Every structure is written in structure tokens, then in C-alpha cells.
Chain A
Amino acid sequence: MLNEARREQLDKIIKRYPKKQAALLPALYLVQEQAGYISKEAMQYIADYLEIPYGHVLGVVTFYTMFYDKPIGRHHIQVCTNVSCRLLGSEPLVSHIGKQCSIKPGETSEDGRFTLSEVECLGSCGTAPMMQVNDDYHENLTVEKVDALLESMK
């Protein structure tokens, strides 16, 4: 389920903790990095690997918002709509992106390219409004900046 390089990585991570279960979040990240999401089979695989119940893995995957149990778009656009960003126009930004990608927050575009989410404060309030696309932060956003970014993701 995990390729060899990632399995080696996981084995190294496991050694950092007195109990294997502590490597659960790191293990789930490795799975997600490889497959894009965490399938039921992957959860079973991780459960066996770390010697913990499948139900526990499932409970953890569903508790944390950054784990996906279904495939999502190639570009996950996450716009912060919390206070500082809201004060500086995150709302119109979400509508604009939604229109450009023909999706509403929570949806994935038909071609599988974009998923749009409204998210909570990303610790970037001084450079609001801002959004995260996959791992990268994009700050001090304007409509022009967003358009250029969307263009580059096509």
C-alpha cells in the first residue's frame, strides 16, 4: 500500500515514539501524499501496520479536517474566511473563485481540477486576505492575483 521509500520513512518515524500508535497521523499523511486520499483499504493497512484497531484509524481520519476519505480536486483551494480575512474581503473572493471554477464551496469541479473550501484562520492574518492551495500559502490576495493563479493551475 505504501511504496518502499515511504514505508522506510514510516519505520523511521515510528522509532521517535514509545508507542507505535503515535505514528498514526504521520502514517496517514504518507498514505494521503501517495494516493491523494485515504481509502478504507489504506486505513486497514495502516491499522495492521501500527497494530491498532481499524475503527480507531477511521475515527481519527474523520476527526481531522486535513485527512480526506474521498478523492478531491488536484488543486485544493482553501480560502480563509475568518475575522481578519473577512474584514478585508474574503467573502467576495470566495464568490469570485467559485464563479471562475464553476463550483461552490465544498464542491469539486467536474474535470477534477479544483476543490474549493472555506477554511478557518490559517495564521496569516497580517497578510489577509489569503488562501492555501495544496501546501502553499498565497497572501495579500487581489482578484487579479487570484485570476493569474487560477490561470497557472489550468
Chain B
Amino acid sequence: MTDTDIKYLLPGIPDLHKINVYEKEGGYGALKKALGMKPDDVIEEVKKSNLRGRGGACFPAGLKWSFMPKNSEKPKYLCVNADEGEPGTFKDREIIEHNPHALIEGTLIASYAMGVTTAYVYIRGEYVKWMKILEAAIEEAYDKKYIGKNIAGSKYSVDMYVHRGAGAYICGEESSLMNSLEGERGYPRVKPPFPAQYGLWGCPTTINNVETLANVPVIINNGADWYIKIGVEKHPGTLLYGVSGHVNNPGVFELPTGVLLTDLIYKYGGGVRSGKKLKAVIPGGSSTPILRGDSIEGVRMDADSLMEAGSSIGTGGVIVMDEDTDIPDIIERISRFYHHESCGQCTPCREGTGWMEKIIKRINRGEGKLKDLDVLLDVANNIEGNTICALGDAAAWPVQSAIKRFRDEFEAKIDVEKTAAA
């Protein structure tokens, strides 16, 4: 068996979303095993596995769990982030649709390890179908006593509920998510204090992405030593890569970390449509820096390799663009998105995202000035790092990288002679 055959998130077993099928495949065995371990040993195993967050920031999951206070007078909470809002990302819904019990089991193991009393799944409001699937699966797990009082015959009790968002991208950011869950507008909170100290209702809270938690059962079942051998050691496991845009065979592919970006596009994605040439790739969701098609030879899909290539793994959502793509047009669309979704709390983001959209629009209309590109970079640089949450950075990176790597395309839209003097 080679690495590429390992598929534990989407193994393609028919009816796996039903609890009896999941159990027949060994499901909830990891939960029972974990309940027989000390909570700290569960955290230790996850730490040893090097599991890193799949929500975009790659934060080590075990380390995050260890930040939760051991002895807390207050109840502790876990939020499962199913907001899946980053453009180009469509993977968590696959887990919820085809393997919801892996998510539930992972959530329960994490909850036990941290001493959580209630876990809330915050799911984007548009995912009505997936919300229903997940709620049905949770009900099954309650009926089988995997959730609720004294789960699986242990002394540990925990509840798990689905909470529906209402169409705001910013609520995927962990502190906005908590505000939204509390029935507030989804404004990010200033950190510190961090969620592990002061989260939901001021209580210790951890937030993890759906895919992160769905990785936990195999780690407990097979051990960290097994897990760390899949893909890249510092960022191991399989990833759900979403390939979209100008490819023949778009979709979600479960493959180890560190797979070649070119393999994702040509081997799994079936190559660029209509035999066209590749112009550009956004490798990890719309906020990750855009790469030139002629610069991706040998680039691997893991945190370190992509950073070296000048981008980021993000959510693993690969957007492929062929030779006919109008890059400034695509960047305008991305800028419109971040402007629309900025919550307006921080001035650099609220104003800056608006300016960026306006200037790129002007360039695309043929009314740009030569100095606009420098102004754009200046605005982007002033947003980056100057906001409460990372939405500002997410808005700045596409613009900075596109001007750096596709400057000629922007300049081609500017009438240099006419505007040089202006």
C-alpha cells in the first residue's frame, strides 16, 4: 500500500454516514480506546502525531488542546468550525456528507481530552443539506449513548449541538465565530485574552476545523507513530485537496500532505481544460498568494514547501487558471469579496479593502494610472499586520502577489503615456 492509497476521511464506503455501517468498519472504537486513557495521554498522543489544523493556519492541534486549563471552575467548550467560507474551499462538506461520524468521534475524543462539557458545531448557514445530515448523525450517536450522559459507559458526559450561521464569511474567524454563537454580531475579538482562557461566555474554549477533528480517530486507533509516516513528517496525514477552476476533473481528492502541485492539477485534476496552458494557480483558497503557472515545478502541497514557493497551504483549495485568464479581473473579484466581507471594525481593513477594489476596478476599466500599482501595494502593505483578525492579511496577499508576479498584465491595461504625467 502506498501513501496515496490511504484514505480515512473519504474511504468511499457506501452508507458510511449511517452509524451501524460506521461501527461495522470499526467506528467509535477510537472513542472507547480514548476513554480508557488518561485525558493528558490523549493530548500527548495528538501532540506526538504532529497533527496541524486544517482551517488555514496549520496550528498544531495537540499544542492548542494543551492550552486549555486543567482545573477550571467554569465549564469548557469546543467549537467545531464548519463555516467553510474561504473561496475555493469545499472539503468540510464532503466529510459531513460522507463520513459525519468521523467528525463526531473526533469531536468527542477532543472533548474528553480537554474536559469539555459541550461541543458546538458552527456550520455556515447555506449548508442546510449538510446541517440536516450532521444533525441526523448526532441523533444516532445520542441514541447509541456515544454522546450525552456517561458516554460509552464511562464516567464522562458531553453534549454536542449544531449551530447555524447566517451568511457572514468573517464568522469563520474563531473569535467572530464565538461572538456569533453567543447571538452577537460577528465581530472579531481582540487577542489576548486567547480563547483557551476567555472564550465562549468567558469560559475556556477551543476552536478546531472539521477536517482537523476528523483526523483524530485514526491517530488514536493507529497511534502517532503510524500517522506521522503519512506524507510530510512536520505536517503529516492526508489532506482533502479541493481542485477547481479550469481543470478537466475538478473535485476533492484525499491524498497525503506534500503531494506535488503539478500532480494535483495534471494527474488528479485531469489537466487544464481544452488542452490550454496553465497561467496561474491559487494553491490554498482565495487568500493565499497567487503563483505563476511556470513556477510550480517541484512545489509540494505542505506548509513548508508552499511557504518556500512564496505562498501558503491555506485550506488546500487549489484554483487553476488557464492561459486566457484575465488576472487583474480575478484579483478585482477577490478584492470585492474581502471588501464585502470586512466587518468594518478596523480602519485599515474597512477603508483599505474598499480602496483596493476601487483602484483595481479602475485599472480594469482602462482608467488606471501608472502610479496606481504603487498605491495599491502601499494600501495592501498598510492593511497587512494592522488589523485585529487575519481578514486584512487575507485581502492584502492576493493583491501583493498578483502585482509582483503578473505586473505586466496590470500595466498592459494602463495607458502609460496618457497617465505618466497625471
Residues of A that sit less than 8 Å from B by CB:
16, 18-19, 21-26, 28-29, 50, 52, 59-60, 63-67, 81-84, 86-88, 120-128, 132, 135-137
Contact = CB atoms under 8 A, between A and B. Distances in A.
Given A66-B126, A120-B169, A125-B90, A86 B333 contact: yes
Contact of A63 (B129, B186, B317, B319): B186
Given A19-B183, A67-B166, 16 more contacts: A16-B161, A21-B184, A65-B166, A66-B166, A81-B333, A86-B333, A88-B246, A120-B87, A120-B340, A120-B341, A121-B86, A121-B88, A125-B244, A125-B250, A126-B251, A135-B128
A59 B165 contact: no
Contacts, number: 132
B216 to A, nearest CB: 22
Interface string B194-225: 00000001000000000000000000000000
Given A123-B93, A135-B128, A83 B183 contact: no
A124 B128 contact: no
Given A22-B183, A81-B333, A124 B90 contact: yes
**In this complex, which of A22, A120, A137 has the most chain B Cβ atoms within 10 angstroms of its Cβ?**
A120
Contact of A16 (B85, B159, B184, B333): B159
B99 interface: no
A112 to B, nearest CB: 22
Contacts of B317: 125
Nearest to B201: A18
A50 B183 CA distance: 10
A81 B167 CA distance: 15
Nearest to B117: A18
Contacts of A22: 181-183
A83 B126 CA distance: 18
Contacts of A65: 166-168
B245 interface: yes
A126 B183 contact: no
**In this complex, which of A18, A52, A60, A123 has the most chain B Cβ atoms within 10 angstroms of its Cβ?**
A123
A25 B165 contact: yes
29 contacts: A19-B183, A21-B183, A25-B166, A25-B180, A25-B183, A26-B164, A29-B166, A64-B125, A64-B185, A66-B125, A66-B126, A82-B337, A83-B333, A84-B244, A84-B245, A84-B319, A86-B333, A87-B245, A87-B319, A120-B85, A121-B89, A121-B337, A123-B84, A125-B88, A125-B317, A125-B319, A126-B90, A127-B250, A128-B250
Contacts of B251: 126
B124 interface: yes
Closest 3 interchain pairs by CB?
A24-B183, A64-B166, A66-B167
Nearest to B171: A64
Interface string B109-141: 000000000100000111111000000000000
A121 B127 CA distance: 12
Contacts of A16: 118, 159, 161
Nearest to A120: B337
A37 to B, nearest CB: 14
A125 to B, nearest CB: 4
Contacts of B51: none
Contact of A88 (B245, B330, B334, B337): B245
Contacts of A120: 85, 87, 169, 337, 340-341
A84 B285 CA distance: 10
A129 to B, nearest CB: 11
B147 interface: no
B182 A19 contact: yes
Contacts of A121: 85-89, 286, 337
Given A66-B167, A125-B244, A126-B252, A84 B88 contact: yes
Interface in B66-88: 75, 84-88
B87 A82 contact: yes
Given A67-B166, A83-B87, A126 B244 contact: yes
B163 interface: yes
Nearest to A19: B201
Contacts of A88: 245-246
A123 B166 contact: no
Interface string B291-328: 00000000000000000000000000101010001000
A119 to B, nearest CB: 8
B242 interface: yes
A82 B124 contact: no
Contacts of B92: 123
A65 B168 CA distance: 7
Nearest to B170: A63
B349 interface: no
B243 interface: yes
Contacts of A26: 163-164
Interface string B134-174: 00000000000000000000000001010111111100000
Contacts of A87: 244-246, 319, 321, 325, 330
